[in-house]
Amino acid sequence: MLKPPQFSKEVKPIIEWMDNYMKNIESYPVRSQSKPREIFDSIPDKMPEQSESMQSIISDLDEKIIPGITHWQHPNFYAYFPCSSSVESIFAEMVMATMGVQGMLWETSPAAAELEEKMLDWLKVAMNLPSTWKGVIQDSASSSTLVAILTAREVKTNFEANKKGVPNNLRIYCSDQVHSSIEKGAKIAGIGSDNVVKIKTNDQMAIIPAELEKAINDDLAHGYVPCCVVGAFGTTGTMGMDPVKAVGEICKKFDIWYHVDAAYAGTALLLPEYHWMAEGMELADSYVFNPHKWMFTNFDCSCYYVKDTEVLKKTFEIMPEYLKTNTTEEINNYRDWGIPLGRRFRSLKLWFVMRSYGLEGMQGKLRNDIALNTDFVNKLKARNDFEIIVKPMFNITCFRYKPQGFDNIEELNQLNKAIKDHINDSGKAYITHTMIDDKYTLRFLPSATYIEKRHVDDFYELLVTTILVVH
């Protein structure tokens, strides 16, 4: 058992461990090669009766835990969307953990509430988001979208659903490419997954506005109540971009809550050259993007913006006696801006990261990732045995290996799956896949905070040599 006076001595091996981890990260297999239950079985069935030393805990960390870690910060992690980190963000997490603040109310740490408001304002300005929006940090994009759906539900039912229960005719619309969190949100909100209407997308995986309008009209004709549209600003599979303005205009026409899910791609709005993509964003009622994806900020940190904070608070507010304080209207009690009562001091991470990088530093990093991806795309295009399945957007490439004369879709799918598995089993890199029109499509996304050109060059070599092995 440790006490604060022992901190400075005991922290040294921990800091050394963290330092070594970062320095040696490339020596680990990117995707854990551990077998199911291996880690579980290696850990005793009961907690120790007696205190154990930090030394033995750290030694077990290396022996028992590290083999079961997939190294998300490895430069050759190209899978999913990233879950980023940075030295600055790690420092902030350490400071946050030291203070152990729980910022449910303004009074329980005014700095946590006021820094959060300021950081979300900084981002709003830097990203050219509508100036009237106000932001709050949620734990994840899934939670942010659930908050949006619940607020939309309350607005549409004149705040009756919160009291009396949810009518069974509310409808949510989104493209057939959106993240599963929309369906999950509909289930949790009591709207029901059967009431999520999936709209067709075009060949760039963007929603077709005319199809959306048609679905809304059909529903109205059948007695349904259109409640919420979730637009995708960067779909998970391929970074499809729904047209913000066209969808927003439909929402206004039918008086429907418009939520934009920019979980990953929202960070790109730090780059002025992409601001045109957000044209019409002022039509949105709510918006989410995750700094924990592409903005070098440790999980969790999801920025949720709303146009009308009053309806947000009205949806979530609670006032048991023990939470009443003497504070005034001027401050934000963020417990009423989302689902949990307790809240971490996440804005400290944004403060550390944004001040240490500066806007220019962040922009440089994002442009570098996009350039690395372009480089990779050019290498694929220089050959005649790769197919780029959708136009690359930002730093994602969706592609497959398709040698000349090899046209059987099943065989091509198996071949590309074999390529992916071989790469991931090698431990040298980690990629994932998506299905596009029944095509098994490989996703490549260079974004690790400390990635360099050599990593992408090495990945390309690995890809080419893997093909020689599996084909």
Ligand X SMILES: Cc1ncc(COP(=O)(O)O)c(C=O)c1O
**Site residues, ligand X (CB under 6 A):** 81, 140-142, 179, 181, 234-236, 261, 263-264, 290, 302
Query: Cβ closer to ligand X: 428 or 433?
Result: 433
Q: 93 or 219, CB closer to ligand X? A: 93
Smallest distance from the beta carbon of 268 to ligand X, in angstroms? Answer: 13
In one-letter notation, the amino acid at residue 353 is: V
CB atoms closer than 10 angstroms to residue 129: 25
Q: Closest approach of Cβ 233 to ligand X, in Å? A: 8
Q: What is the DSSP annotation of 96-149?
A: HHHHT---SSSTT-HHHHHHHHHHHHHHHHHTT--TT-EEEEES-HHHHHHHHH
* Shortest Cβ 311–ligand X spacing (Å): 22
Q: Which is nearer to ligand X, 105 or 149 (CB)?
A: 149
Rounded to a whole number of angstroms, the minimum distance from the CB of residue 140 to ligand X is 3
What is the closest distance, in whole angstroms, from the C-beta atom of residue 27 to ligand X in the complex? Answer: 28
Q: Which is nearer to ligand X, 287 or 386 (CB)?
A: 287
User: Which residues, at least 6 apart from 60, have a Cβ–Cβ distance to it below 8 Å?
Assistant: none
For the bound state, the minimum distance from the C-beta of residue 310 to ligand X, rounded and expressed in Å, comes to 26
Residue 228 vs residues 133, 171, 180, 253: alpha-carbon distances, Å: 18, 7, 16, 13
* Residue 300 near residue 277, CB atoms below 8 Å: no
CB atoms within 10 A of CB 74: 24
Nearer to ligand X, 236 or 449 (CB): 236
| C-beta of 263 vs 350, nearer to ligand X | 263
Cis peptide upstream of residue 60 (ω within 30 degrees of 0): no
SS (H, E, C) 205-244: CCECHHHHHHHHHHHHHCCCEEEEEEEEECCCCCCCECCH
Strands 257-261 and 225-232: parallel
Give the nearest distance from C-beta 182 to ligand X in angstroms: 8
CB closer to ligand X out of 76 and 143: 143
Question: Least separation, in Å, of the C-beta of 335 and ligand X?
Answer: 20
- Nearest CB to ligand X, comparing residues 181 and 195: 181
Which residues, including other chains, have CB under 8 Å from residue 440's CB and lie 6 or more apart?
Answer: 400, 412, 413, 414, 416, 417, 433
Q: How far is CA 240 from CA 102, 175, 216, 236, 277, in A?
A: 37, 10, 22, 8, 12
DSSP for residue 266: G
**323-302-119 Cα angle (round to 5):** 75
- Minimum separation from the CB atom of position 413 to ligand X (A): 23
Please tell me what DSSP assigns to residue 406: -
User: Which contacts qualify for 364-370: CB closer than 8 Å, 24 or more apart?
Assistant: 365/296, 365/449, 366/267, 366/268, 366/270, 366/271, 366/294, 367/271, 369/294, 369/394, 369/395, 369/446, 369/447, 369/451, 370/394, 370/395
- Smallest distance from the beta carbon of 364 to ligand X, in angstroms? 24
Name which of 105 and 448 has its Cβ closer to ligand X: 448
Return the structure tokens found at 347.
């804005």
Handedness of CA 411, 412, 413, 414 (dihedral sign): positive
Q: What value does the CA radius of gyration of the chain take, rounded to a whole number of Å?
A: 24
Q: State the minimum distance, in angstroms, from the CB of residue 138 to ligand X.
A: 9
Nearest to 191 by CA among 165, 210, 168, 160: 168
**Please, are residues 448 and 83 in contact by the beta-carbon 8 Å criterion?**
no
- Residue (231 or 248) nearer to ligand X, CB: 231
Which is closer to ligand X, CB of 112 or CB of 141?
Answer: 141
Residue 285 is given by DSSP the state: S
- Which lies closer to ligand X via its Cβ, residue 137 or residue 283? 137
Task: Tokens 């066209």: give the residue.
Answer: 246
For residue 148, the minimal CB distance to ligand X (Å) is: 11
